[in-house]
Amino acid sequence: SSGPRCPVCSEPCESPRLLPCLHSLCAPCLRRLGRLGEPGRTAARCVLCPLCDAVVELPPGGVGQLTPDYLALSRGGEAAMGCDLCADGAASGRCLTCSANLCHFCCQAHRRQKKTASHAVMGLENTKDCSQAGKPLFCPFHPTEELRLFCEQCDQPVCRDCVVDRHRQHPYDFTGSVIHRHGNSLRELLKTTQQHMGTLEDVLSQINDMSRAVRSRAEAVASEISLFATGYIKAIEEHRDQLLKQLEDLKVQKENLLHLQKAQLQQLLLDMRTGVEFTEHLLTSGSDLEILITKGVVASRLAKLNSIAYNTHPSVDDRIQFSPRERAGKCCGYEVFGSILNKVVDPNRCTLHGGDLHSARQNELSGFTLLLKDTTGEQMRRGGEAVQVTITHKDKRDCSLKPTVCDNGDGTYHVSYSPEEPGLYAVCIYVKGQHIQGSPFTLTVKNKFREHHGVFHCCTFCSSGGQKAARCACGGTMPGGYQGCGHGHKGHPGYPHWSCCGQVKESSECLDGAHGDTLQRSLLRTVVL
């Protein structure tokens, strides 16, 4: 057969269906793919596309509910289309009046005969025109009705019977009236995806340049190490070999990280290219109805690809340094010098220390210490790293603090700040432009510490000398007309407490802001008594 073939089994496509990753498979391959899902489950199952390894979530009804690939069917129909009159030649035109495909000989005869000379005969050269001129698509629920309408609520083509049955009272319109709006939405998604592809290609080019720079820098450092080591005999030669091995490990580590990032971005670019090529072909070669039928899965795929986050810069840099004057210990009994500065700060391993990490007081100086660590988790012993700290109010966007960052020169940095507004703040800490471990985190700034204005007593009976009018914030009462609290009576907390707010801890903050003015005046009276 000259029609399209399945990319998996290479057999002629039979009822091809479109996967969410925009790859089309024949019905037998899809059935085999569906049987690979987890047995015993009636809900949607996840399988892997055999072409791109994308995770495909099958509909609840199985592979049969996947979107039909009418575009592939129309391509196959074009290749195998024959003349409807003589059944011998290949169709080269179509009579729109008769709705018949005609070969070249029958087209000429059609134009010469009196009865058919006025018929509109068009050529099949243009792929899109050919697809539009193909046989109409019929409703799967009403096989005798053509799909001429589009249900806006269900976002799918329907027939005349559907709008009075399954889609009753749903807003609908003719496919020719809605194709421009839905086609434009696909074009916008296509434009965004193409922009991402350009960015990805630029990043991959940068990665290739950085990989060459890493290799070049590694070779330069290896040359420095070799020149430095020539002045020593056995001990220095052995020391040189050790340094070269460390350099090789560092180079491999950097190249592995670049290779991993490159592989991930290449796969993302490949997935986007597949989506773009399919969408471009759909918009240029598909009929209006084919675009509307396939629009949902195509838009979903492009939107998913556009939402994937990726780093627009190489994941590592080419900083590899050699320090010839740094003590390297002893080798073969000789003290040697020269070391590779392989301690590269790793933002993901940096940690914060101090008691003011998550809470602070209004108008009080607070702070914490940032400890930088390298890729192995060991503390950096030198300063000079690019450390940036931002503290921004979560509810008031124009309210931010200006923290002070002090480089201690030993791999630690002290961050101090004094908040003026209470509330929740987002604290972001960047090292070399990257968030450290746990960043951003939330900082709670409380109001200024409120001092107690009452007395810390056991009860009002004791503190007031037995005055019946003395009251206490604990809410305790005594019999005999006393308005305050006493030992063993109702409402007494059982501990010494503050008369102004009822707090049982002597060093606590006063909470009397929640009480009314009348109660505060009565509590102050207890203090006077």
Is 341 inside a domain boundary?
Answer: no
pLDDT in tens, the chain (529 residues): 445 778 888 777 777 888 888 888 887 887 777 665 544 444 447 778 888 888 878 777 777 777 777 776 665 544 456 777 776 777 778 787 776 778 888 888 888 888 888 887 887 664 344 444 446 788 888 888 888 899 988 888 989 889 888 888 899 898 888 888 888 888 999 999 999 999 999 999 999 999 999 999 999 999 888 777 666 678 888 888 989 998 998 899 889 989 999 999 999 999 999 999 999 999 999 899 999 999 999 999 999 999 988 888 888 878 788 878 877 888 877 788 888 876 778 888 899 998 778 888 888 888 899 999 887 788 887 788 889 999 988 888 788 888 999 999 888 999 999 888 888 999 999 998 889 988 898 899 888 777 888 889 989 888 888 888 888 988 888 888 888 898 888 888 888 998 888 888 888 888 876 444 444 444 444 444 4
**CATH number of domain containing 424:** 2.60.40.10
197: in domain: yes
Angstrom distance (rounded) from CA 66 to CA 20: 9
Domain assignment of residue 149, yes or no: no
User: Alpha-carbon distance 485 to 483, whole Å?
Assistant: 7
State residue 342's pLDDT score.
63
- Say if residue 440 is preceded by a cis peptide, omega within 30 of 0: yes
186 and 225 assigned to the same domain? yes
What integer pLDDT is reported at residue 480 of this predicted model? 85
Q: Which two structure tokens, joined as six digits, stand for 257? A: 């990280």
pLDDT at residue number 230:
66
Domain edge (last residue) among 446, 463, 485: 446
Count structural domains, the chain.
4
Residue 251 lies in a domain: yes
Q: At what angle do helices 70-80 and 234-285 cross, to 10 degrees?
A: 70
| pTM (predicted TM-score) | 0.34
User: Beta strand 441-446 with 423-431: parallel, antiparallel or unpaired?
Assistant: antiparallel
What is the pLDDT, as a whole number, of residue 211?
Answer: 94
Which tokens sit at 392?
A: 């921004």
Identify the pLDDT of residue 413: 94
Give the E-state strand segments of 74-141 in sequence order: 93-95, 100-102, 121-123
Q: Are residues 224 and 290 in the same domain?
A: yes
Question: Has residue 54 been placed in a domain?
Answer: yes
Residue 328 placed within a domain: no
Q: What are the angstrom distances between the C-alpha of 313 and each of 176, 205, 206, 306, 440?
A: 45, 10, 7, 18, 21
Q: Are residues 116 and 197 in the same domain?
A: no
CB-based contact 282:294 (threshold 8 Å): yes
Residue where a domain stops, chosen among 411, 446, 481? 446
- Write out the two tokens for 475: 């809410």
Do 117 and 198 lie in a common domain? no
- Residue 75: the pLDDT is 56
Residue 74's domain comprises 1-78
CATH of the domain at 47: 3.30.40.10
DSSP string, 284-340: HHS-HHHHHHHHHHHHHHHHHHHT----SS-SS-----EEEEEEEEEETTEEEEEEE
Q: Is residue 333 left, alpha or beta, with left meaning phi > 0 and alpha meaning psi from -120 to 50? A: left
Helix (H, G, I), strand (E, B) or coil at 238: helix
Three-class secondary structure of residue 206 per DSSP: helix
Same domain, 184 and 278: yes
Asked if residue 299 and residue 190 are part of one domain, the reply reads yes
Decide if 460 is inside a domain: no
Pairing of strands 359-361, 441-446: parallel
Strand partners, 405: 415
Q: Facing residues of 323 across strands?
A: 339
65 and 101: one domain? no
Q: What pLDDT is recorded for position 523?
A: 45
**Boundary residue ending a domain (446, 477, 505):** 446
Residue 64 and residue 7 in one domain: yes
> What residues contact 436, with CB distance under 8 A and at least 6 apart?
347, 348, 350, 351, 352, 370, 429, 430
Residue type, 15: S
Q: d(Cα 34, Cα 61) in Å, to the nearest integer?
A: 11
Residues for the chain: how many in total? 529
Q: Are residues 90 and 198 in the same domain?
A: no
Q: Both 194 and 303 in a single domain?
A: yes
Inside any domain, residue 71: yes
| pLDDT score recorded for residue 312 | 87
Question: So what's the pLDDT on residue 468?
Answer: 87
Calpha distance 204→181 (Å, rounded): 35
Per-residue DSSP letters for 290-301? HHHHHHHHHHHH
Look up residue 203 and give its two tokens: 């990043």
Residues 46 and 95 in one domain: no
190 and 294 share one domain: yes
Question: Which segments of 145-268 are extended strands (E)?
Answer: 149-151, 156-158, 172-174
pLDDT at site 34 = 67
